[in-house]
């Protein structure tokens, strides 16, 4: 899939919406009308800056290098009551799952969750009124006009939370990328050492009936991630919006139940609600443990759905897939954790 540096899920941008154009003071000049009345037109509105959900995007990379985004100002009004042209709006295309906050105040500006959905990031200033607008029976010759309002200027931070249906959470080397490559067309790097995957990878799992769901392969999580060990908790923000977690517990680990507890402890440090998400467990690399020896393993509590799977023998893959589909249908769109800013 994409190279590591292509994946950007956090950017800060300076936004300068357009100023409103000024209204003008002007007087009618007609041949046989010696004292023409006011005819100064209003200024146009300044352009606003929006973000819009684009399903073709999965990273904020191209925005990262823009740094400053400016919308044009409105034109000044003109004589003969003509309004100045509006400054055009600027639309920044972002991946679905992008949220925006204003720096400083921390105000939440909104989140795009659907294709084409727009969120206003910085509002253009309204155009000022020209002197024509101020005429009245008592004021027949107003000799003043309004300046345009300034457009909003602010720094915003955009954060992406991938909208995956299923997020794989596991230690490094658990076989997460391997499972992604079996179930989807994604071709993540797979290797027998930890931290092969450095940024989240997504794949779409499809079946003959063309029902599909999005599976996310997140970088491996180790004990102490909440203190910054390994890749830390940075990528857990993508779990926030996931409907279902799939814990990946490799059977070359001596104690899968304990491993699960450790993973859950790290998730909890990031956000306790992550533990309330529905989850399934895959006991991976099942080919390494013969069936009669599996009883000796310290497995997670029996009431949690768990599947022995193997990429080598394909054991359990179909069963896991069908359980995932059922769970996705049931829980999709019900993620409890709402968008919020990361501590900076």
Ligand X SMILES: Nc1nc2c(ncn2[C@@H]2O[C@H](COP(=O)(O)OP(=O)(O)OP(=O)(O)O)[C@@H](O)[C@H]2O)c(=O)[nH]1
Main-chain phi, psi angles of 200, to 5 degrees:
-60, 145
Binding segment toward ligand X, per CB under 6 A, in 3-11, 208-216, 269-277, 307-315: 307-315
Q: Which of 44, 316 has the CB closer to ligand X?
A: 316
From the CB of 282, what's the least distance to ligand X, in Å? 10
CB of residue 195 to ligand X, shortest distance in Å = 5
Q: Is 196 in the site for Mg ion (CB under 5 A)?
A: yes
DSSP 193-236: SS----S-EEEEEE-TT--EEEEEEPPP--TTGGGT-TTTTGGG
178 binds ligand X (CB under 6 A): yes
Nearer to Mg ion, 72 or 203 (CB): 203
DSSP code at position 286? G
312 lies in the binding site for ligand X (CB under 6 A):
yes
In whole angstroms, give the CA distance from residue 210 to residue 203: 14
Q: Which of 196, 212, 226, 269 binds ligand X (CB under 6 A)?
A: 196
| Residue nearer to Mg ion on the CB measure, 1 or 145 | 1
Q: Round to whole Å and give the CA distance between 239 and 170.
A: 12
Q: Are 232 and 343 in contact (CB under 8 A)?
A: no
Q: Between 250 and 289, how does the x/- string for binding to ligand X read (CB under 6 A)?
A: ----------------------------------xx-xx-
Q: In what order do the strands lie in the sheet with 108-112?
A: 68-70, 10-16, 153-160, 98-102, 108-112
- Taking CB under 6 A as the criterion, the residue among 86, 177, 184, 306 binding ligand X is 177
Question: Would you report the helix, strand and coil content of the chain in percent, each value rounded to 5?
Answer: 20, 25, 55
From the list 11-19, 72-80, 140-148, 175-183, the region that binds ligand X by CB under 6 A is 175-183
DSSP class of 152:
P
The reply to whether 284 sits near Mg ion by the rule CB under 5 A is no
Helices (H), 43-140: 61-64
Check binding of 175 to ligand X (CB under 6 A): yes
Asked whether position 197 contacts Mg ion by CB under 5 A, the answer is yes
DSSP assignments along 121-151, one per residue: EEPPPPPPPPGGGG--SS-SS----PPPPPP
Binding to ligand X in span 144-173, by CB under 6 A: 170, 172-173
For residue 308, the minimal CB distance to ligand X (Å) is 10
* 311 forms part of the interface with ligand X (CB under 6 A): yes
Query: Nearest Cα to 197, choosing from 180, 220, 163?
Result: 220
Residues 201-220 that bind ligand X (CB under 6 A): 219-220
Binding region for ligand X (CB under 6 A) out of 19-27, 107-115, 192-200, 208-216: 192-200
Do the Cβ atoms of 221 and 230 come closer than 8 Å? yes
Using CB under 5 A as the binding rule, whether residue 177 contacts Mg ion is answered as yes
| Of residues 207, 96, 159, 163, the one with CA closest to residue 332 | 163
Residue ranges binding Mg ion (CB under 5 A): 177, 196-197
Residue ranges binding ligand X (CB under 6 A): 170, 172-178, 190-192, 194-197, 219-220, 284-285, 287-288, 310-312
């Amino acid at each position: 899939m994409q190279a590591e540096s292509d994946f950007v899920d956090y950017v800060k941008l300076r936004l300068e919406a357009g100023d409103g154009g000024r209204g003008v003071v002007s007087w009618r000049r007609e041949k046989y009308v010696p004292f023409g009345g006011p005819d100064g037109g209003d200024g146009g509105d300044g352009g606003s800056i929006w973000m819009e959900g684009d399903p073709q995007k999965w990273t904020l990379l191209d925005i990262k290098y823009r740094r400053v985004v400016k919308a044009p100002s409105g034109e000044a009004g003109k004589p003969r009551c003509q309004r100045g042209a509006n400054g055009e709006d600027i639309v920044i295309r972002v991946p679905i799952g992008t949220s925006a906050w204003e720096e400083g105040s921390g105000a939440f500006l909104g989140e795009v969750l659907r294709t084409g959905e727009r969120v206003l990031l910085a509002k253009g200033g309204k155009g000022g009124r020209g002197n024509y607008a101020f005429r009245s029976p008592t004021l027949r010759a107003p000799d003043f006009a309004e300046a345009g309002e300034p457009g909003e200027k602010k720094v915003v931070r955009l954060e992406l939370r991938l909208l995956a249906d299923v997020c794989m959470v596991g230690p490094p080397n658990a076989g997460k990328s391997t499972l992604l490559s079996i179930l989807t067309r994604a071709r993540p790097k797979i290797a027998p050492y930890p931290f092969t995957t450095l940024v989240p990878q997504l794949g779409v799992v499809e079946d003959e009936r063309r029902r599909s769901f999005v599976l996310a392969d997140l970088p491996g999580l180790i004990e102490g991630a909440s203190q910054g060990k390994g890749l830390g908790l940075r990528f857990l923000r993508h779990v926030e919006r996931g409907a279902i977690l799939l814990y990946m517990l490799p059977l070359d680990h001596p104690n899968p139940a304990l491993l699960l507890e450790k993973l859950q402890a790290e998730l909890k440090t990031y956000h306790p609600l992550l533990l309330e998400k529905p989850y399934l467990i895959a006991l991976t690399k099942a080919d390494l443990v013969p069936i009669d020896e599996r009883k000796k393993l310290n497995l997670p509590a029996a009431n949690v759905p768990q599947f022995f799977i193997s990429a080598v023998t394909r054991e359990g893959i179909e069963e896991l897939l069908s359980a995932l589909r059922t769970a996705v249908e049931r829980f999709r769109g019900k993620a409890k954790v709402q968008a919020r800013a990361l501590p900076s």
